[in-house]
Amino acid sequence: QVQLQESGPGLVKPSQTLSLTCTVSGGSITTNYYYWTWIRQPPGKGLEWMGAISYADNTYYSPSFKSRTSISRDTSKNQFTLQLSSVTPEDTAVYYCAARFGPNSDYVDKYDYWGQGTQVTVSA
C-alpha cells in the first residue's frame, strides 16, 4: 500500500518560495505508470490540482500555477518536492501530495493515494 507524507514549513513570508517534500513509502516513485501530484485547498475553497511528476520524470503543471511552480524528485530518497515561488497570502492552504496509477490527470478525484495534508500559512 502506497503511503505519502508531506513535510515542510508551516509559515512562509510573502514573496518567498514555498518548498514542500512528499516522502513515499510502500512503493517506488519510479514504478511504471504512477503519477505523483500536488493538490491544495485554500480555506473555504475546493481542491486545486497544481501539477504532477511521472514515474519517468516528466512534469505537468496547471496553467494557473505554471509560472511559479516547479516539481522535482529525488529517487534516492523516494521523495518528490514542490516549489512555489513569489507566494502571497492567497497561497495559504492545506497542501496535499497524492498519487495515482494510470495517465496523468488534473481531476483530483482520480487520485487514489493521499497524504494527510500540511497547513501552510503565508504571512509576514
Q: Give the model's confidence band at 37: pLDDT under 50 very low, under 70 low, under 90 confident, else very high.
A: very high
Q: What is the mean pLDDT of residues 37-59?
A: 97
Bridge partners of 19? 83
* Res. 59: pLDDT tops 90: yes
Instruction: Please say if the pLDDT value at position 106 is more than 90.
Output: no
